[in-house]
Amino acid sequence: MARALARTARPALVVEARTRRKGAFWPYLLVAPALAAFACLLVYPLARSVVISFQHFRLGELIRGGAAFAGLANYAEALGGPEFWAVVRRTFLWTAANVVLIMVIATAVALMLPHLGRRMRLAVMSGMVLTWATPVLAATTIFQWLFQSRLGVVNWVLVRLGFDSFRDYTWFADGRATFAILVALVVWQSVPFAALTLYAGLTTIPGELYEAARIDGAGPWQVFGRVTFPILRPLFGLITSLEVIWVLTCFAQIWAISKGGPGGATATLPVYAFQIAQSLHRYDLGSAVSTLTVLMLLAVLVVHLRRMFREEGA
């Protein structure tokens, strides 16, 4: 959803700008379905969620209707408890760990690709496209099987290698192990998109620049720092922003593997909001947490996006 929107948002704006000049009616008609869908599927639920966050809205109100205005009570409850702040810290740790790993690995893969032979490059790229094409829940299920305590292949390999303490080791009973497995899963799923996009960016850099840098005596690190990175800076910025959005709002993988457990060790903000809303039927408090999540995400991204647009404009 987010990907599709990110891709379509710009053409839509361009079309709109042109129409104003010509005063034609057609373009409006053509964007109308997309805008209507956007309003129904995104704006309406978002607005409704914000409204609910200011109401006393629980199971009874869901079924009988007639929710009363509650002011800021839900926000006060969310912000006042220690649990919320623990979840926020965990969410930032989760996002930072994932995004850093994704960007480092993706950059390394993208820089490696041009140096591979044709067959090998094809193999690596096919592998990445397949990884990317694997449905989220299918990949998640495979990871669950890999780390299964009694029949999982990871424990089998570790025991074979002589680490006997991993016989029947219960990965998903330990908070940190579950967190690490989820990071591995999300990084594995996200690297292909970032790596392939960066590789596409790399191929647009003229070879003469590298040649010139090397003649001037630049080593590999300097070439990257002085040539590659500055040219691809907008691309790095865009991919990092997208990964921050996707990782922070990541839900399906966490819910399928751990439902936020064990003991809340993998409850990030979206999972926490869903737990509150769906299992406790505190739709009001869950909406408040969701709204706070969106605000936090905006705060993180606005700084970044503003700098990016300014650079692009300059």
Partner 1 sequence: MRLRLLAAAAAFSLALAGCGSASEPGTSGQTGTTTLTVWFMRDSLSDAIVKRFTDDFQRSHPGITLNVQSQEWDGIGQKVISALASKDAPDVIEVGNTQVAEYAASGGVRDLTGKVADLGGADWLPGLAEPGKIDGRQYGIPWYAANRVVVYNKDLFAKAGVTSPPKTRDEWIDVTTRLNKGGVQGIYLPGQNWYTLAGFVWDEGGDLAVEEGGQWKGALDTPQALAGMAFYERLQALGKGPRDSDEARPPQADVFGKGDVAQIISAPGGAVAIEKANPDLKGKLGFFPIPGKTADRPGAVFTGGSDLIIPEASAHPDEAYEVVKALAGEKFQLDMAKEMSYVPNRTSYAGVLSGDEATAAMAAGAAVGHATPNSPNWAAVEARNVIKEYMTKVLTGGDAATAAKEASGVITTILNTRS
Q: Report in angstroms the alpha-carbon separations of 270 from 158, 250, 290.
A: 34, 7, 7
Least Cβ distance, residue 26 to partner 1 (angstroms): 17
Choosing from 2, 17, 59, 130, the residue that interacts with partner 1 (CB under 8 A) is 59
For the bound state, the minimum distance from the C-beta of residue 44 to partner 1, rounded and expressed in Å, comes to: 7
* Member of 2, 16, 18, 44 binding partner 1 (CB under 8 A): 44
Measured CA to CA, the distance from residue 51 to residue 42 in angstroms comes to 14
Least distance in Å: CB of 111 to partner 1?
Answer: 32
Distance of CA 57 to the CA centre of its chain: 29
- Among 282, 274, 298, 296, which residue's Cα sits nearest to residue 52? 282
Q: How far is the CB of 220 from partner 1 (least distance, A)?
A: 40
Q: For residues 281 and 278, what is the distance between their CA atoms, to the nearest angstrom?
A: 5
Q: Is residue 170 a contact residue for partner 1 (CB under 8 A)?
A: yes
Q: Is residue 280 near partner 1 by the rule CB under 8 A? A: yes
Contact between 257 and 181 (Cβ < 8 Å): yes
**Residue whose CB is less far from partner 1, 135 or 207:** 135
| 78 alpha-carbon distance from chain centroid | 24
Residue 83 C-beta: closest distance to partner 1, Å: 9
172 binds partner 1, rule: CB under 8 A = yes
Contact 288, 211 (CB under 8 A): no
| Rounded-to-integer distance, Cα 122 and Cα 135, Å | 22
Binding mask 243-262 for partner 1 (x = CB under 8 A): ----------------x-xx
Q: Report the C-alpha gap between 285 and 161 in whole angstroms.
A: 48
| Ramachandran bin of 233, using left for φ above 0, alpha for ψ from -120 to 50, beta for the remaining angles | alpha
Q: Is 30 in the site for partner 1 (CB under 8 A)?
A: no
Nearest CB to partner 1, comparing residues 198 and 269: 269
Backbone phi, psi, residue 286, to 5°:
-60, -40
User: Of the candidates 126, 141, 222, 279, which one interacts with partner 1 according to CB under 8 A?
Assistant: 279
Whose CA is closest to 300, among 259, 269, 264, 266? 269
Residue 55 backbone dihedrals phi, psi, to 5 degrees: -115, 170
User: Which residue in the set 5, 34, 157, 298 belongs to the binding site for partner 1 (CB under 8 A)?
Assistant: 34
Nearer to partner 1 (CB atom), residue 60 or residue 114: 60
Task: Quote the least distance from Cβ 295 to partner 1, whole Å.
Answer: 25
Interface with partner 1 includes 149 (CB under 8 A)? Answer: yes
User: Can you tell me which of 9, 37, 72, 116 binds partner 1, judged by CB under 8 A?
Assistant: 37
Number of residues that bind partner 1 (CB under 8 A): 34
Task: By CB under 8 A, name the binding residues for partner 1.
Answer: 4, 32-34, 36-37, 39-41, 44, 58-60, 62-64, 148-150, 168, 170-173, 259, 261-263, 275, 278-282
